[in-house]
Amino acid sequence: MTAAVDSGALGAVLATSAAAALAVMLAAFAVGTAKRLHRIVDVAWGVAFAAVAVVAWSLAAGHGDDVRRTAVALATVVWGMRLATHIARRGRGHGEDPRYARMLARARGNPALYALRTFYLLQGALVWLVSLPVQVAVLVPGPLGATGVLGLAVWAVGLAFEALGDHQLARFKADPAHRGRIMDRGLWGWTRHPNYFGDFLVWWGLYLTACASWGTARLVLVSPVVMSGLLIWGSGKRLLEAHMADRPGYAAYRARTSGFFPRPPRGAADARTASGG
C-alpha cells in the first residue's frame, strides 16, 4: 500500500468496482441467455469498464485530486462506451460469435452455467483487474504532473489509433468489391492489429495517470501487463490470426505487415526474406 492513497477509500473503491463489474456481466448474461446470443459479453466488456470508472469517480470524491479524478474517469468512460458501441454495431444482425459457438459445443454440463463462468464471470474479473489504474488514480491526491499528462496523451493516441483502425476496416468491409479480400490499407498496412495496438496504448496511458509515486506504480503495474498479454498472446491477436490463417492472401499480408507494433510495410523482396522465400 502507498501512503499517497487513503487505504480505507481504496478498499471501498475496489469492492464497489468489483460489484459494478459483476452487475454489468450478470445483466449481460441474462440478456445473452434469453436471446441465446452470448456475443453480447463483448459489448458488456466496454460497458463494465465505464461502470467501474463511474463508481470509482463517485466514491473518490473528497479524496483524490478533482482534475485527475475526473480526467481519468472520463477517459475510461469514453474508451469503454466507444468500444461497446462499435462492437454492438458490428454484430447487429449476426448470429453467435464462432469462438463462443465452438466453446459451447465442447462444453460439458449445463451450457448456460458454462457460459456464465467462462464468458461473463471471467471477463468481469479481468475488467476489475485491468481497471486497477483507474481505481487508484481517482484517489491520488496530487495534481496530474508531467507523468499524468503524458499518460493522457498516450491514452488519446491509443484511442485515436483504435477508432481510426475500426473506421477504416468498417468502410472497407462495406464495399462489396472488397468481399473476400484482406484489409491492408491505412493503419492496417502498418500493423495487422491497429485496434489491439490502440487498446495497448490506452491502458499503458491510464497506468501512467496512476503513477504519482513508486508505490502506486508498483501497485497497479499488473494491469497493463495483463492487458498486453491478452491482446498479444491471449484472446486478441493470437486467436484472430488463427481464425484468419487460411484466408486467401493472408500469408502474404502477414509476411509484409507488422504483427503488432506499427512500422512501414515491407516491400515484396523484404516480405519474401521474412517468410523464408
Question: Does residue 130 surpass a pLDDT of 80?
Answer: yes
Which of the four pLDDT bands, split at 50, 70 and 90, describes residue 83?
Answer: very high
Closest CA to 250 of 188, 176, 195: 188
Which residue is listed with cell 459451447?
104
- Predicted TM-score (pTM) of the model is 0.90
Average confidence (pLDDT) over 45-54: 98
Question: Does residue 152 surpass a pLDDT of 60?
Answer: yes
Residue 47 near residue 84 (C-beta atoms within 8 A): yes
Residue 230, C-alpha cell as written in the block: 491478452
* Mean pLDDT, rounded, of the chain: 90
Which of the four pLDDT bands, split at 50, 70 and 90, describes residue 269?
Answer: very low
Q: Give per-residue pLDDT as tens, 245-255.
A: 788 889 999 99
Length of the chain: 277
Which of the four pLDDT bands, split at 50, 70 and 90, describes residue 237?
Answer: confident
Residue 204, C-alpha cell as written in the block: 499503458
First to last CA, the chain: 54
Give the pLDDT of residue 272.
44
Closest CA to 235 of 190, 193, 174: 193
d(CA 273, CA 277): 5
d(CA 241, CA 143): 42
Question: Does residue 2 surpass a pLDDT of 50?
Answer: no
